[in-house]
Amino acid sequence: MVKQRKYKMENALAELNSRIHSGNIKQGTFLPSERKLAELLDISRGTLRSVLKKLQQQGIIRINPGKGAYVVDSLSRKGLRRFAVICSTISSCQKPSEGMGMLLGVCSAASKVHAEALISFEGDSFEAEDIISRFNTDDIQGVVLFECANADNVIKPLEAAGVPFVIANPEHEISAVSARINYRQVGRYAGQLLLQAGHRKIGLVTGPLQDERIIYREMLAGFRGALAEEELTLQKNWIIETLSEAEDARIKVSKLLSENSLPTAFFAMRDVRACGLYTACRELNIKIPDEISVLSYDDITWESAQQAGLSTLKEPIEQLGESAVTLLAEWVETGIPPRCKEFSAEFIHRASIKNI
């Protein structure tokens, strides 16, 4: 029975493809209603929806919710000419530098593929309906979303409408085409670097581990993995959870540094937390790196990191933006969603890690 349904679907797909390419169903027009199409192809409406989904993935039709399926003009099917960029991280006051770095990468890649980027700073007010409408009129061929995790209001509607989209730097667990950081690999790399410097008593300054984002949990898992290879464990009381601000990190790190038994090194998950750690050490007359070594991640969120000599794992923000556009161009060209692109981090060695 399953084979029979598959056979019917493949036959119907071939028939509908033939009618479109032969001109029997003209490009630039809407397909007949589902009921009429199902009767014409002698298939159920459920099988028809599977056929239409295949044609949508191939870029042959576009499904406009409430209106029907639209046959795309062959001249407009190939090549990324114009796309939208929704820059939520720039509109947010928390990580504008990160967003600007990705935007530089987007603009660089857009120039290379000869496409126009339409940039929006709407942030949380972004509505998928506007993108879908512009896609259906061929005003744009897709969209790049910065760190988007809004499945119900953004991702699902775009998927249903067949709009190609790529998420740049997602920090949530989400199933979508993306250019992303392998945070577990970053955490593992951080652990390996500190272990290579001879450190065995290591603390962490992390973000909220119960947060919806996976970034801190994944880094922690990778870091623990590196320690486990050396048969070491991470002391629970040396894991300090803080907000994304230096003052919160300073207060919480100061409490730990006031104890008798101290780590010889810290890994700070984002430079802004390393900034708070530096302040706490200065106030307690603890010298970096002579008494405590510090390794961080991002090379973005503390403007004075280089001046302070902070060694960090650099987040490849421009590469994330460039890759997002490259993936989108591939999707538009082939009609097939490409595989995600993953990045790690580059070690920027300065003066905050001491070999012991």
Q: Identify the weakest region by mean pLDDT among 82-96, 158-172, 281-295.
A: 82-96
- Residue 171 token pair: 């920090």
Average pLDDT score over the chain: 90
183-316 homologous superfamily = Response regulator (3.40.50.2300)
* Topology at the third CATH level for domain 76-181+318-343: Rossmann fold (3.40.50)
| Model confidence at 170: pLDDT above 60 | yes
Q: Which of 19-28, 135-144, 146-155 has the highest mean pLDDT?
A: 135-144
Under a CB-based contact definition with an 8 Å cutoff, are residues 178 and 168 in contact?
yes
Rounded Cα distance between 123 and 338, Å, is 25
* Average pLDDT score over residue span 26-50: 88
**How confident is the model at residue 179, as a pLDDT?**
97
- Residue ranges matching CATH 3.40.50.2300 in the chain: 76-181+318-343, 183-316
Q: What's the pLDDT score for residue 264?
A: 97
Looking at residue 74, what is its pLDDT?
58
Q: According to the model, what pLDDT value does residue 318 have?
A: 96
Q: pLDDT confidence of 148, banded at 50, 70, 90?
A: confident
> What's the Rg (C-alpha) of the chain?
25
The yes-or-no verdict on residue 92 having pLDDT over 50 is no
Query: Over 50: is that where the pLDDT of 93 sits?
Result: no
Confidence of residue 281 (pLDDT cuts 50, 70, 90): very high
d(CA 76, CA 274) in angstroms, rounded, equals: 50
Q: What does the pLDDT read at residue 336?
A: 92
